[in-house]
Amino acid sequence: MNAPFRPCLRVSVRPDALLARMEPDELDRIMRWLGCRSNGQMGERIGVNRGTVQTWRSGRVGVPRHIAMLLRLLAAEI
């Protein structure tokens, strides 16, 4: 069964933009767009623990480029 259509979140999918540093506010926007209400839900979706998501959202540690790219592509495809 197909999922209902949702317009995509406006994110740049240029190759250079995909690799750009992801700021905590961008991560928060993508989490909301994906329907993740907690760090744990986001972690389950992408295969990391909730503590890792928490450190990214606090800005203490940057989101790895490969994860940032994945999240941007997911947001662009939904």
The answer to whether residue 8 is domain-embedded is no
pTM for the full model? 0.75
The answer to whether residue 44 is domain-embedded is yes
pLDDT in tens, 17-69: 666 789 999 999 999 999 999 999 999 999 999 999 999 999 999 999 999 99
CA 35 remoteness from chain centre: 11
Q: Greater confidence, 3 or 50? A: 50
Domain tally for the chain?
1
The amino acid sitting at 16 is D
The answer to whether residue 70 is domain-embedded is yes
Q: How far apart are CA 40 and CA 36, in angstroms?
A: 8
* Residue 13 pLDDT class (50, 70, 90 cuts): low
Q: Which domain holds residue 48?
A: 15-77
The answer to whether residue 19 is domain-embedded is yes
